[in-house]
Amino acid sequence: MSAITQLSRLFKFNGGVHPPENKLQSCALPIRRLPLPAKLVLPLRQHVGNLPKLRVAVGERVLKGQLLAEAEGTISAAVHAPTSGIIASIGEALIPHPSGLPDMCITLEPDGADEWLPHAPLDWRHADKQQLTESLRSSGIVGLGGAAFPSHIKLRADGTSGIDTLVINGAECEPYITCDDMLMRERAEEVVRGIEIAYYLLGAKQCLIGIEDNKPEAAAAMRAACDKSEYPLQVIVVPTIYPSGDARRLIHVLTGREIPSFKRSTDMGIQCFNVGTVQAIYRYFQFGEPTLSRIVTVTGNVAQAGNFDVLLGTPVTALLDAAGGALPDTNDYLMGGPMMGFSLPSAEVPVTKATNCIIAGAPKLFPEPEPAMPCIRCARCADACPVNLQPQELYWFAKSSNLEKARDYKLFDCIECGCCSYVCPSHIPLVQYYRFAKSEIISQDRAKQAADVARERNEFRLMRIEREKQERAQKHAQKAAGAKTEGSAAADGKTLEDAKKAAIEAAVARAQVQKAAVEPKNVSDLPPAVQSEIAEIDARRSDAALEVEKMQLKKTIDTNSVADGKGNEAVSQASPEPTAEK
């Protein structure tokens, strides 16, 4: 095995940083289990994609592993009951999300029995692949690395998947987080069995397992487990450089291939899974267990940092208590790592499928950002950018709202890893500027789309009006042409003039009739002086109306006359006799 590892060449991406790892604190103890909390709050949306369809009602007793909400549409994931109990409520509650906004959650009160719904393993080696991936849809498994993308989509063996390389992400490059490290150390067998299932389902030709060189125990355990596998699984130790755990970066490090900006890795025949995800896949096929729990690192400003196997829906407070409690100077709770994580709106929020790490923050760990100085163009950010962007230029464009330029300079390739902000000597919150610029561009694009739709509608309306006018003109022309061919021998020009005059006179007559017909209402009781005044105004008004009507008429006639000519021409061309006579 080691021979293979040495044979495979590693590739380097631009830049990256190496912040203090702070991983040892949470690796001292084995993974522990949490006592059953008093209630579990299960957000319906713990994944990327559609809100799943609710399948239970308040007051219902559910068993452990029972489906609570079913995947809806293609990109969605199911939610199951992590233990047996009563559905206490269904409604909005705070969830761990950067927006701090509440979302739909199911609150489950455990009954303590922890009674399983009958479940059975799936004989994946002898089942139809199509059936297996179909069944994965109800497993609730999503990417456990933090992205929470439904896994059944990534494993779809539709015959055209053409995946030749399976990349397993055990890099865990963010400081503080050790949940994947501990999982690989303690449950390497399960992880490898999961890799085998993914390998089989995808029909892969090779499998590369990337682990950063700061996890020698995990790499050794994985190697030992891989050695027993019938598949050619390679454990490859990669240098510890943040963000080598980013899927595109890891694929590049391991294979030397760059996934083109607007393509997916699957377009290049590569599929990537986190180690936790494949272990969940193994548990599902081997025991029929859907995703009910996950391993979470609890670290930072706590008494006893460690990793816990936590039921989904467990409040973060329970987790902190299990870690000996947050120390008194704690002022913040982060979910995820310190490079890309976010502050929780409250420590009451539940653990979800995306919760890989909870860090109790304190000023001594994460000091308040220093006031920003002007950019001195030192380009350290560019040296650190793993995507090889020019952060100093993007900053300038974002700051001056030169959004088109920002887009030209590939703003949307930014993965918001934070390397640029990390190294900036001017302490400029660069990532914030990029987030702002991205959202500005997205909302501008939306506004532009809306404007485009409105413009199209307006253009269509104008077109319709024009068409109707043309049709009217056509009619008039036909009439005129008809009158002509009837042979009222009068001079051509004269008839037209006469027609105009007649039309105007007719209109005037009509208007006068109308004027006479206008019977002013509610004025009969008024004194005669006022009445006469009103009459006067009315007269003026109708005169004006008359003028307007006259003008309009003249206009229509004039345009009609132009159309007339055309119409005549068309007519004359259609009937060759008159021309022939001439």
Q: Give the footprint of other proteins on this chain (CB under 8 A).
A: 13-14, 17, 19-20, 98, 100, 175, 248, 252, 258-261, 334, 338-343, 345, 361, 365-366, 369-371, 373-380, 382-383, 386-390, 392-393, 409-410, 413, 416, 418, 421-427, 429, 431-432, 435
In the complex, what is the shortest distance from the CB of residue 283 to other proteins, in angstroms, rounded to a whole number?
Answer: 31
In the complex, what is the shortest distance from the CB of residue 340 to other proteins, in angstroms, rounded to a whole number?
Answer: 5
Cβ closest to other proteins, residue 388 vs residue 552: 388
In the complex, what is the shortest distance from the CB of residue 243 to other proteins, in angstroms, rounded to a whole number?
Answer: 11
In the complex, what is the shortest distance from the CB of residue 342 to other proteins, in angstroms, rounded to a whole number?
Answer: 5
Cβ closest to other proteins, residue 168 vs residue 340: 340
Cβ closest to other proteins, residue 16 vs residue 567: 16
In the complex, what is the shortest distance from the CB of residue 423 to other proteins, in angstroms, rounded to a whole number?
Answer: 5
User: Residue 512, Cβ neighbours under 10 Å: how many?
Assistant: 12
Q: What is the secondary structure of 442-463 as a DSSP string? A: HHHHHHHHHHHHHHHHHHHHHH
Cβ closest to other proteins, residue 132 vs residue 375: 375
How far, in Å, CA of 409 to CA of 436, rounded? 15
In the complex, what is the shortest distance from the CB of residue 97 to other proteins, in angstroms, rounded to a whole number?
Answer: 10
Q: Give, in order, the Cα–Cα distances in Å from 213 to each of 239, 244, 249, 401, 417.
A: 5, 11, 16, 41, 20
Cβ closest to other proteins, residue 195 vs residue 431: 431
In the complex, what is the shortest distance from the CB of residue 355 to other proteins, in angstroms, rounded to a whole number?
Answer: 16
Q: Give, in order, the Cα–Cα distances in Å from 458 to each of 450, 452, 461.
A: 12, 10, 5
Cβ closest to other proteins, residue 200 vs residue 366: 366
Cβ closest to other proteins, residue 106 vs residue 259: 259
In the complex, what is the shortest distance from the CB of residue 279 to other proteins, in angstroms, rounded to a whole number?
Answer: 27
In the complex, what is the shortest distance from the CB of residue 349 to other proteins, in angstroms, rounded to a whole number?
Answer: 13
Cβ closest to other proteins, residue 87 vs residue 251: 251
Q: How many CA atoms are closer than 13 Å to the CA of 451, on its beta-carbon side? A: 6
Residue from 182, 189, 257 nearest 25 by CA: 182
Cβ closest to other proteins, residue 82 vs residue 243: 243
Q: How many CA atoms are closer than 13 Å to the CA of 11, on its beta-carbon side? A: 13
How far, in Å, CA of 529 to CA of 513, rounded? 25
Contact of 390 with 411, CB cutoff 8 Å: no
Q: At what angle do helices 492-517 and 430-485 cross, to 10 degrees?
A: 110
Cβ closest to other proteins, residue 244 vs residue 293: 244
In the complex, what is the shortest distance from the CB of residue 212 to other proteins, in angstroms, rounded to a whole number?
Answer: 17
Q: Give, in order, the Cα–Cα distances in Å from 568 to each of 469, 486, 490.
A: 17, 14, 16
How far, in Å, CA of 267 to CA of 224, rounded? 32
Contact of 204 with 255, CB cutoff 8 Å: no
End-to-end CA distance of the chain: 101
Q: Rounded to the nearest 5 degrees, what angle is found at the Cα of 192, between the Cα atoms of 189 and 198?
A: 145
Task: Collect all residues with Cβ–Cβ distance below 8 Å to 490 and sequence separation of at least 6.
Answer: 498
> What would the two tokens of residue 145 be?
């690395």
Phi, psi for residue 308 in degrees, rounded to 5:
-130, 140
In the complex, what is the shortest distance from the CB of residue 426 to other proteins, in angstroms, rounded to a whole number?
Answer: 6
Contact of 90 with 117, CB cutoff 8 Å: no
Pairing between strand 270-274 and 332-335?
unpaired
Cβ closest to other proteins, residue 236 vs residue 423: 423
Pairing between strand 206-212 and 233-238?
parallel
How far, in Å, CA of 46 to CA of 144, rounded? 11
> What would the two tokens of residue 123 be?
């004989």
